Amino acid sequence: MKALILSCNCGEGHNSAGKALAEQFAHRGIPFALQDTLSFDSERTSRFIGNVHTKCALYAPRLFAVGNQLAERERHTEKPSVCYRANATYADKLYHYICENGFDTIVMPHVFPAEALTCIRRRYPQTRLTTCFIATDYACAPFLNETDVDFYCIPHELLRPSFMESGVPAGKIVATGIPVRERFLSHVDKAEARARLALPGTGQILLVMTGSMGYGNVNELLCALRARIPNADVLVMGGNNERLKHSLREDFAADSRVRVLDYTTEVSLYMDAADLLFTKPGGLSSTEAAVKGIPMIHTAPIPGWEADNAAFFASLGLSRTADTPKMQAEQAAQLLASPAAMARMCAWQHKEINPNAAADICTLLTQQKGENCLREGIV
């Protein structure tokens, strides 16, 4: 078995899911490579699409909702979608890369490579590959209905009907959960985590995460938190958004209880140190938090899949959400005042979210490879 993980730079969650699988392949001694799918078109295309995604999210988020509506319309037409045709343009190049490097298993935490692999399967029907799409949101992505892969790994069994209604064959759906990196599977005692991060050993600590792009009305949320929960320390992760971080540091320079963090790889440790998390409802970040078992308030979503993520989590009691920063701060105050409510939320997270999705997907693929070898008479 030799695996190729094809990700995409349209949101860091896809790359994080790919890296989670890479860790499992490495542990099992399975050769693998992790590649940016759109780079097979060109590095310029990859950068352009990534930049468009980030700028739309920050400055024109409603375009995502419009895009979803257009995608839904295309789903009801017989001709290939614009998405399929765009990803088909580099399918031959990707096919030759797969053949030249001897990959037999393709893992795809984004719909773009699933479109390209579908094109490859049609153009080169003699090619024998095990292909697996991994959903990184708690909703069915547009265009998935026109893909043809062997497995569709979805976040939760309750989502099976919506994927089937969108056109995914029932027999190919496996409810594995969303894969998270190993660092989120371990837990550090709160006091120790705070000591490692040089944080106050006592008192409440709130962690605000804005995603890699620094999304959301963070200034208004901080003002609401300082008014409603004045004795708490607030840590803000602004991702790669240097403009946002600079602005927040200026606005809250006189408030010693607000700390705007530089980019960090210690997200897991900060979750261990905090009492409550505010996060935009990205599928991957929400799953990481639930695996950690931290009470969670979902902030305003990017319209589209993130709204579905927030609704799914709230429906199962895995998080709370509200429409405005003021209401989000009120939800936080209510949670912090009720240790029993926070414990229930963490218990439901533990019950509903599979922490071992990466290992389970790896096992699924290795078993499939073994079955393929038996069918082909390979010892």
Each residue's pLDDT tens digit, 3-26: 999 998 877 889 999 999 999 999
Rounded CA-CA distance 379/359 in Å is 25
Single out the residue of 262, 252, 273, 255 nearest to residue 203, CA to CA.
Answer: 273
Asked whether the predicted pLDDT for residue 157 surpasses 60, the reply is yes
Asked whether the predicted pLDDT for residue 64 surpasses 70, the reply is no
Stretch 113-135: mean pLDDT, rounded?
A: 95
Whose structure tokens read 């991957």? Answer: 284
Tell me what pLDDT residue 344 has: 97
CA dihedral 31, 35, 40, 43 (to 10 degrees): -140
Stretch 269-276: mean pLDDT, rounded?
A: 97
CB 28 within 8 A of CB 81: no
Stretch 269-295: mean pLDDT, rounded?
A: 96
Query: pLDDT > 70: what percent of the chain?
Result: 89
Split at pLDDT 50, 70, 90, the class of 61 is: low
Convert 234-257 to b/e letters by CB count within 10 Å (16 or more is b).
Answer: bbbbbbebeebbebbeeebeeeeb
- Between 328 and 213, whose confidence is greater? 328
> Rounded to whole angstroms, what are the CA distances from 145 to 64, 152, 156, 162, 363?
19, 11, 18, 11, 25
Split at pLDDT 50, 70, 90, the class of 243 is: confident
Split at pLDDT 50, 70, 90, the class of 377 is: low
Tell me what pLDDT residue 299 has: 93
Say if strands 173-175 and 151-154 run parallel, antiparallel, or are unpaired.
parallel
Instruction: Convert the pLDDT of each residue in 205-223 to its tens digit.
Output: 999 998 766 567 899 999 9
Rounded CA-CA distance 216/239 in Å is 12
Sketch out the chain's domains with CATH numbers: 3-180+356-375 (3.40.50), 186-352 (3.40.50.2000)
Question: pTM of the entire structure?
Answer: 0.90
- Between 203 and 79, whose confidence is greater? 203
What DSSP line would sit under 54-88, residue for residue? HHHHHH-THHHHHHHHHHHHHHTSSSPPHHHHHHH
Stretch 300-321: mean pLDDT, rounded?
A: 92
Least confident among 67-71, 274-278, 328-332, 362-366: 67-71
Asked whether the predicted pLDDT for residue 32 surpasses 90, the reply is yes
Tell me what pLDDT residue 379 has: 45
- Between 354 and 241, whose confidence is greater? 354
Q: Across all residues in the chain, what is the average pLDDT?
A: 90
